[in-house]
Amino acid sequence: MEFRHLGRSGLMVSEISYGNWITHGSQVEEDAAVACVRAALDAGITTFDTADVYAGTRAEDVLGRALEHERREGLEIFTKVYWPTGPGRNDRGLSRKHIMESINGSLRRLRTDYVDLYQAHRYDYSTPLEETMEAFADVVHSGKAHYIGVSEWKASQIREAHALARELRIPLVSSQPQYSMLWRVIESEVVPTSEELGLGQIVWSPMAQGVLSGKYLPGQPPPAGSRATDEKSGAGFIAKWLTDDVLTRVQQLRPLADQAGLTMAQLAVAWVLQNPNVSSAIIGASRPEQVHDNVKAAGVKLDAALLKAIDEIVEPVTERDPARTESPAERP
């Protein structure tokens, strides 16, 4: 495993981090989830990403139990706050009340006294940013989180939050956006702003929900048991990629993966890690062998000719519009 600084902070994270958005507490049983976490640890992954909303808080519980007997100082544990975690009007968003209650709930479920990174899971248009950042400052100053990050925030929002973070003397160090060969909306605005301000990207869905693994074929139904056939594991979310045009172009990447000595999945993960502003790429898994396969992308260097060939294949189906940064309605 290779390691990178998270932005310009002193925190080192594994190039590949393990996330449990869709799997733990919902798609796979706990024994399988723990086996995947064990595979990640065995592969040298030290960075684990979750959120209070995943599987209705169950994902944090599963991860907490899986990591309970590991040396805490040797791990980087990340979680997030924003999406509803209860039926009440204040069980959501980035109000002071919800942040303070949510960090305590997350720490309890994760079985830890602190998280290394506490992230705003979306921008909250209904709460003053000053209130949100002051609450985050109290979380940091109380020792419940070491660093602060955001997820799916636009460049202008990141800039405003960063200015407040400096005033409040707290480290806003990261952005967690969707990023893959097919989804590049961060490249024109979020990445340059983050580079300027010292934030690193912790990217999710580097395989475009599994589409870039090459297992979905044009003109054919999704394989039985795949994510595209399971409503609990994001079938609606993956649907935008399941067009014959996209799938045909993805299949054209296979010779390039072979040329690089990589699987399709490894090529996809390695591709996002070529961006120097990416600190870590989040992978998920329902089986340990998926972890063992994906971690082989760490440390891979793709040459300029290969990157150019990838661009030529996928450019017609690539999304680059920065306005497509996700709104609060689009995904938990």
**Active site members:** 54
What amino acid is encoded at 324 in this protein?
R
* Number of neighbouring beta carbons within 10 Å of residue 222: 17
Judge contact between 325 and 152, C-beta under 8 A.
yes
Give the N- to C-terminal CA distance of the chain in Å, as an integer.
Answer: 29
* CA dihedral for 63, 67, 72, 74, sign (positive or negative): negative
Measured distance CA(181)–CA(206) in Å, rounded: 8
- Minimal CA–CA distance to 179: which of 197, 194, 198? 194
What amino acid is encoded at 17 in this protein?
S
Measured distance CA(277)–CA(245) in Å, rounded: 30
Q: Which residues contact 146 (CB under 8 A, 6 or more apart)?
A: 11, 114, 115, 116, 117, 140, 171
Q: Half-sphere exposure of residue 158, counting CA atoms within 13 Å on the CB side?
A: 30
Tokens 């932005």 label which residue? 7
- What is the 3-state secondary structure of 78-107? EEEECCCCCCCCCCCCCCHHHHHHHHHHHH
